[in-house]
Structure 1
Amino acid sequence: MGEMAVQRGEAGAEVVSPTAMIDGSVRAVRTALDGGGLRDVGVNPNQRSTRRCTGPSRL
Protein backbone atom coordinates (compact mmCIF):
# COMPACT_ATOMS: atom_id res chain seq x y z
CA MET A 1 0.00 0.00 0.00
CA GLY A 2 2.85 2.37 0.83
CA GLU A 3 4.62 1.62 -2.44
CA MET A 4 1.48 2.44 -4.41
CA ALA A 5 1.08 5.72 -2.52
CA VAL A 6 4.66 6.68 -3.39
CA GLN A 7 4.01 5.88 -7.05
CA ARG A 8 0.92 8.10 -7.02
CA GLY A 9 2.83 10.89 -5.31
CA GLU A 10 5.65 10.70 -7.83
CA ALA A 11 3.06 10.83 -10.61
CA GLY A 12 1.80 14.15 -9.25
CA ALA A 13 -1.00 13.28 -6.83
CA GLU A 14 -1.51 15.92 -4.15
CA VAL A 15 -3.47 13.58 -1.86
CA VAL A 16 -3.74 9.80 -1.57
CA SER A 17 -6.73 8.12 0.08
CA PRO A 18 -6.23 4.55 1.24
CA THR A 19 -9.55 2.72 1.49
CA ALA A 20 -8.31 -0.48 3.11
CA MET A 21 -9.59 -0.80 6.63
CA ILE A 22 -6.37 -2.28 8.00
CA ASP A 23 -4.95 -1.12 11.33
CA GLY A 24 -1.98 1.14 10.73
CA SER A 25 -2.63 1.65 7.02
CA VAL A 26 -2.57 5.45 7.21
CA ARG A 27 0.64 5.37 9.24
CA ALA A 28 2.23 2.98 6.73
CA VAL A 29 1.27 5.23 3.82
CA ARG A 30 2.52 8.36 5.59
CA THR A 31 5.82 6.66 6.48
CA ALA A 32 6.31 5.49 2.90
CA LEU A 33 5.58 8.95 1.50
CA ASP A 34 7.94 10.60 3.96
CA GLY A 35 10.63 8.03 3.17
CA GLY A 36 10.21 8.78 -0.54
CA GLY A 37 10.69 12.51 0.05
CA LEU A 38 7.02 13.26 -0.62
CA ARG A 39 6.21 15.20 2.55
CA ASP A 40 3.85 17.54 0.68
CA VAL A 41 1.54 14.72 -0.45
CA GLY A 42 -1.43 14.52 1.88
CA VAL A 43 -3.07 11.39 3.26
CA ASN A 44 -6.85 11.38 3.55
CA PRO A 45 -8.16 8.33 5.41
CA ASN A 46 -11.15 7.51 3.25
CA GLN A 47 -13.84 5.98 5.39
CA ARG A 48 -16.68 4.48 3.42
CA SER A 49 -20.13 4.21 4.76
CA THR A 50 -23.10 2.71 3.06
CA ARG A 51 -26.64 3.72 3.76
CA ARG A 52 -29.77 2.02 2.59
CA CYS A 53 -32.32 4.40 1.17
CA THR A 54 -35.85 3.13 1.51
CA GLY A 55 -37.64 6.43 1.19
CA PRO A 56 -37.06 10.13 0.73
CA SER A 57 -33.61 11.16 1.83
CA ARG A 58 -33.47 13.77 4.57
CA LEU A 59 -30.26 15.68 5.06
Structure 2
Amino acid sequence: MKGWKRLPDEAKAAINGRIRAERIAAKPPRKRLRKLGKKIRKLETKLEALRAEREALESARPAE
Protein backbone atom coordinates (compact mmCIF):
# COMPACT_ATOMS: atom_id res chain seq x y z
CA MET A 1 0.00 0.00 0.00
CA LYS A 2 1.31 3.36 -0.96
CA GLY A 3 2.16 5.44 2.10
CA TRP A 4 2.05 2.50 4.54
CA LYS A 5 5.24 3.64 6.29
CA ARG A 6 3.76 7.07 6.97
CA LEU A 7 0.53 5.75 8.52
CA PRO A 8 0.19 5.95 12.30
CA ASP A 9 0.38 2.66 14.21
CA GLU A 10 -3.33 2.86 15.08
CA ALA A 11 -4.30 3.06 11.41
CA LYS A 12 -2.02 0.12 10.55
CA ALA A 13 -3.56 -1.91 13.36
CA ALA A 14 -7.08 -1.07 12.16
CA ILE A 15 -6.26 -2.12 8.60
CA ASN A 16 -4.61 -5.34 9.75
CA GLY A 17 -7.60 -6.09 11.99
CA ARG A 18 -10.03 -5.57 9.11
CA ILE A 19 -8.00 -7.85 6.83
CA ARG A 20 -7.85 -10.52 9.54
CA ALA A 21 -11.62 -10.30 10.09
CA GLU A 22 -12.27 -10.63 6.35
CA ARG A 23 -10.08 -13.72 6.18
CA ILE A 24 -11.89 -15.32 9.09
CA ALA A 25 -15.29 -14.51 7.57
CA ALA A 26 -14.29 -15.87 4.17
CA LYS A 27 -12.79 -19.10 5.49
CA PRO A 28 -15.28 -21.60 6.91
CA PRO A 29 -14.29 -23.13 10.25
CA ARG A 30 -12.73 -26.51 9.44
CA LYS A 31 -13.61 -28.14 12.73
CA ARG A 32 -17.32 -27.34 12.30
CA LEU A 33 -17.25 -28.62 8.72
CA ARG A 34 -15.67 -31.91 9.80
CA LYS A 35 -18.21 -32.31 12.59
CA LEU A 36 -21.13 -31.66 10.22
CA GLY A 37 -19.68 -34.06 7.67
CA LYS A 38 -19.47 -36.77 10.32
CA LYS A 39 -23.08 -36.19 11.37
CA ILE A 40 -24.26 -36.31 7.76
CA ARG A 41 -22.45 -39.61 7.12
CA LYS A 42 -23.97 -41.07 10.28
CA LEU A 43 -27.48 -39.98 9.25
CA GLU A 44 -27.01 -41.31 5.72
CA THR A 45 -26.01 -44.70 7.15
CA LYS A 46 -29.07 -44.72 9.40
CA LEU A 47 -31.32 -43.69 6.50
CA GLU A 48 -29.93 -46.51 4.36
CA ALA A 49 -30.68 -49.02 7.13
CA LEU A 50 -34.22 -47.69 7.53
CA ARG A 51 -34.85 -47.89 3.79
CA ALA A 52 -33.63 -51.50 3.76
CA GLU A 53 -35.94 -52.31 6.68
CA ARG A 54 -38.88 -50.70 4.87
CA GLU A 55 -38.10 -52.63 1.72
CA ALA A 56 -37.94 -55.90 3.67
CA LEU A 57 -41.31 -55.18 5.31
CA GLU A 58 -42.89 -54.30 1.97
CA SER A 59 -41.62 -57.45 0.31
CA ALA A 60 -42.84 -59.62 3.21
CA ARG A 61 -46.33 -58.11 3.00
CA PRO A 62 -48.85 -60.27 1.16
CA ALA A 63 -49.91 -59.02 -2.26
CA GLU A 64 -53.35 -57.48 -2.36
The TM-score range, normalised by the shorter chain, is: under 0.3
TM-score, L = length of structure 1: 0.26
Which has the greater radius of gyration?
2
Q: Which protein, 1 or 2, shows the higher relative CO under an 8 Å CA cutoff with sep ≥ 6?
A: 1
TM-score, L = length of structure 2: 0.24
Higher helix share: 2
